[in-house]
Amino acid sequence: KHNYLVMNLEELPGVMKEAFMLARTGRPGPVLVDVPKDIQQQLGMPMWDEPVAISGYLNRLPQEPRFLAVQKIYDAIKESKKPVLYIGGGTCDSSEELREFARRCNIPVVSTLMGLGNFPASDPQFYGMLGMHGTVASNYAVDQADLLLAFGVRFDDRVTGKLEAFASRARIVHVDVDPAEINKNKESHITICADIKPVLQILNSLAGDSPLPDAHFSAWVAEMNAKREEFPMKYPQKDNVIVPQYAIQVVQEETEGKAIVSTGVGQHQMWSAQWYDFDYPRHWVTSGGLGSMGFGLPSALGAQAAFDGYDGRGVKTVINFDGDGSFMMNPQELATVFVHNLPVKTVVLNNQHLGMVVQWEDRFYKHNRAHTYLGKSDAEWHVTYNEADIYPDLPLM
């Protein structure tokens, strides 16, 4: 989100205060503080009382939402026949308000990759992740919607595809805490730049004072349920191997969906999003837009180290689902697991190549291979390929 280079010791206390304020206000995000070696070796007495005043930042932070602006959203809901609630990572701190709002209004809910868990996957109103790796039902919902309630999202290209065709039938309401995201990728008809929690609180108050009829969206919900039944998520079954989707489902059942799950980046990441049902916020830790391979294991370590054993939901386990390629980006973190005796579980879905890169090579680059198989060279694979060969042989290693 921001970065600092500390050039003298006296700057350090003020820089650290500013860095934490920036990281936690507005749209939360990481702040890098670069402290050179010569500064690290100096001694000094910090002055912690200096006020933080960042010119041009504090006055641009989102204000409390105006009631009349939120009233326009509720009026649009009452006028619509096919509304869809499209939620993203920006709703993670307002999950309870979000659930109340969706259930009060009986609106179908779809989620981005980063929004999973903010609305329960087990709820009949949830139609899954949308976009390139999403469900048929969720993409159908957005395509057919006459009102799209985009809460805490950024209209990423993995969700929208061709922007001009995305939600082309719908009036679009965009609520986000970051002013830079409003109308950046997709023009919206109603916009509010504010924290989503107070917006949802006002919407819930309006829904309580002027409730919608129980059957207001019943035809639309029935249409969505039929589409979900017609096109369920499925995967090929094989007798000679454990397919990755099945492995994820088994872990889901054994943990009762209560584990904190991290992933690397690749096909295993999408399979985890599709086949592990997240019912709670902040139980899904993955690298979305940045897409950093090797993210899974160190993230799981951080979650496990911060986890005190019980958070009121019976969470007992932290699991990292990883691909063989993504896992090999950060295997040195196994030393951290050992040193700190952290009970992180890692499930490696080993398909012996960089699966998502190969998928794109096949789709967009005429099957040309560029260093995507782990082990033999590309030339050797073409000559001596044997399905029984496993590279890398992680159990042997």
Q: Any idea which fold 67-230 has?
A: Rossmann fold (3.40.50)
Where does the pLDDT of residue 136 fall: very low under 50, low under 70, confident under 90, or very high at 90 and above?
Answer: very high
Confidence tier at 57 by pLDDT (50, 70, 90): confident
Nearest residue to 346 via CA among 309, 283, 297, 305: 297
Answer whether 67-230 and 244-351 agree in fold. yes
For the chain, give the mean pLDDT.
91
Query: What secondary structure letter does DSSP report for 162?
Result: S
Q: Which of these, 183, 185, 206, 204, lies nearest to 193 by C-alpha position?
A: 183
Q: Which residues, in sequence order, are bridge partners of residue 285? A: 262
Token output for 371: 């260093």
Residues 13, 50 contacting (CB under 8 angstroms): yes
Distance CA 48, CA 20 (A): 13
Contact 109, 102 (CB under 8 A): yes
Give dist(CA 178, CA 154) in Å, integer. Answer: 9
| Cα–chain center distance at 393 | 31
Beta strands in 177-330 (DSSP E): 190-193, 260-263, 284-285, 318-323
Please tell me which residue, 375 or 296, carries the higher pLDDT value.
296
Identify the pLDDT of residue 240.
86
Is pLDDT above 80 for 113? Answer: yes
What is the secondary structure of 268-305 as a DSSP string? Answer: HHHHHHHHS---STT-EE---SS--TT-HHHHHHHHHH
From residue 163, alpha-carbon distances to 131, 158, 166, 184, 290 in Å are 12, 11, 5, 11, 20
Question: Is residue 351 very low, low, confident or very high in pLDDT (cuts 50, 70, 90)?
Answer: confident
What's the rounded Cα separation, in Å, for the pair 19 and 58?
13
pLDDT of residue 55: 77
Instruction: Please give the average per-residue pLDDT across 330-344, as a whole number.
Output: 93
| Residue from 333, 378, 386, 383 nearest 358 by CA | 378
Cis ω before 392 (30° cut-off from 0): yes
Arithmetic mean of pLDDT, 70-85: 97
pLDDT band at 371 (very low <50, low <70, confident <90, very high): confident
pLDDT for res 158: 93
Average pLDDT over residues 265-286: 96
Per-residue model confidence as pLDDT tens digits over 173-226: 999 999 999 999 999 999 999 999 999 999 999 999 999 988 899 999 999 999
Report the candidate in 345, 318, 347 with the shortest Cα–Cα distance to residue 244.
347
Model pLDDT, residue 260: 95
**Identity of residue 308:** D
Position 50 scores a pLDDT of 76
The band of 62, judged by pLDDT with boundaries at 50, 70 and 90, is confident
3 state SS of 224: helix
Q: Given pLDDT bands bounded at 50, 70 and 90, which one contains residue 2?
A: very high
pLDDT of residue 352: 84
290-317 pLDDT, tens per residue? Answer: 889 999 999 999 999 888 654 555 567 9
Tell whether the model's pLDDT for residue 23 goes beyond 80: yes
Which of 132-136, 222-226, 281-285, 338-342 is predicted with the least confidence, judged by mean pLDDT? 338-342
Burial 8-46 (b: 16+ CB within 10 A, else e): ebeebbbbbebbeebeebbbeeebeeebeeebeeeeeee
What's the confidence (pLDDT) of residue 395?
Answer: 61
Give residue 384's pLDDT. 54
Predicted TM-score (pTM) of this structure:
0.88
Q: Which of 79-83, 184-188, 360-364 has the lowest mean pLDDT?
A: 360-364
Give the pLDDT of residue 367.
Answer: 86
Q: How would residue 234 be classed by pLDDT, with cut points 50, 70 and 90?
A: very high
Q: How far is CA 244 from CA 128, 296, 345, 349, 351, in A?
A: 19, 16, 16, 6, 9
- Is a pLDDT exceeding 80 seen at residue 392? no
Considering the domain delimited by 244-351, tell me its CATH architecture. Answer: 3-Layer(aba) Sandwich (3.40)
Residue 380 pLDDT level (bands cut at 50, 70, 90): low
> Cα–Cα distance between 116 and 137 in angstroms, integer?
16
Q: Which of 118, 191, 119 is nearest to 155 (CA)?
A: 191
Each residue of 221-249: b (16+ CB within 10 Å) or e? bebbeebbeeeeeeeeeeeeeeebbebbb
Residue 390's pLDDT is what?
54
CB-based contacts of 128, cutoff 8 Å, min separation 6: 110, 111, 121, 134, 135, 137, 138, 233, 274
What residue spans define the domains of the chain?
A: 2-60, 67-230, 244-351
Instruction: Please name the helix (run of DSSP H) or strand (run of DSSP E) that holds residue 330, with its range, or none.
Output: none
